[in-house]
Structure 1
Amino acid sequence: MNAKQPLIKLESLCRHFNSNGLVTRAIHNLDLEIYPGEYVSISGPSGCGKSTLLSILGLLDGATKGNYYLKQHKVEHFDLYQKAALRNKEVGFVFQAFNLIGDMTVFENVELPLTYSNVKKNNRKQRVMEILDQVNMAHRKDHFPAQLSGGQQQRVAVARGMIINPSILLADEPTGNLDSANGEEIMDLLDQLNQQGTTICMVTHDARFAQRATRTIKLLDGQLLQ
């Protein structure tokens, strides 16, 4: 991919919700470009459209109108299967609530996206151990989420998000359920991943963490503040 071309491009993007005739403009006429290797933070008050925007970027939700290009794929007309295939190949997620599967080990949780991608078992094992070692969780590979601290669970969640070598890692309030010390550790890990070339787009309400990004975007009422 040409480095001068955006990894993500939004043109006049809108996401409106209609409930009993009342229209809520969660995202309205938003233009945005994110380039390979960037670390972008999205901040703003509660209800400003941050999580809606991240859901659209991650192909979990669709726009009401406007254009969305991911690696030059015009995705707004993709069907559910095409979106899922593109998401599984290009997008990694880290959620506030970790979203680990309780009856699966650390190894199995991180391995799961590779299973969906039909990666061979021997290749899966090598890749999982590499990424667990990178986030300092290889020694906990046989533990279950309930046996881990919140910070450890989020490290596993980051590993799971990175396991497919995604084009972009989307992090939705990744420190929201952590104390300050564990939050700093997770932010240090995201900094490290970005320095290694990972493109990151993060939603956060914490101004300290937002300032760690190389570019900060502020939303208000679904629109960018210049």
Structure 2
Amino acid sequence: MLIRATAIVCAVRAHGEHGAIARLLTPEDGLQPGYVRGGHSRAMRPVLLPGNLVSAEFRARSEEQLAGLTVELVHSRAGLFAEPLPAAAIEWVTALTAVTLPEGQPYPRLYAALDGVLGAVEAAPSARGWAGALLRYELLLLSELGFGLDLTSCAASGATEDLAWVSPKSGQAVSRAAGAPYADKLLPLPRFLIDGGEADWPHIREALRLTGFFLNRDLLAGPRGSVLDARERLTARIRRLAEG
């Protein structure tokens, strides 16, 4: 087995005294694990940093064997880890990718979207510039794994206008008129998730609650739920920023 690709580092853990096992997202071969000799060394740690773009080569005698992995840095995002909010965003979105995607299955849309989120975090002057991209990535990941939300029409009436809530049971949008009697049982649907563009802080917090509910219920139950600590750190920092 031989795979050469430009890939996004999603997760790394030490293995042995100096090695590391890295999980990288590739455009055509999906999430791929590999053993990096010396990957836990001082020289390699800045390369194998979540969010970095690397040139990767995976080699194994069979598909069942853990591949040996060599990497060269293409683009570093190490500087963003000096800033708490961008660091929390990168930590969360890469950890979510690493823990939920099955290995070896191609997800080209997710690769492009993740690369876009990381680029937005790097380029935007404030979190309002990249929060929407991150939240849409969460929605896309749910959809790609078979748990997509339907935000196109009302579950009760079929209406496509004035969609204001999402049913926590069906994951489908509900119009303001149809949902008014049950508002306390529905999840608010921020319009920017449908219309695009930037959002204000209250709507970003509503969107975090919305996507978080379905991620927690459908993808992160059980041992996978340990990555929710990273999401809580992100939401706590956004909450403080919104309140300050």
Relative contact order (C-alpha < 8 Å, sep 6+): which is higher?
A: 1
Higher strand share: 1
* TM-score, normalising length: structure 1: 0.29
Higher helix share: 2
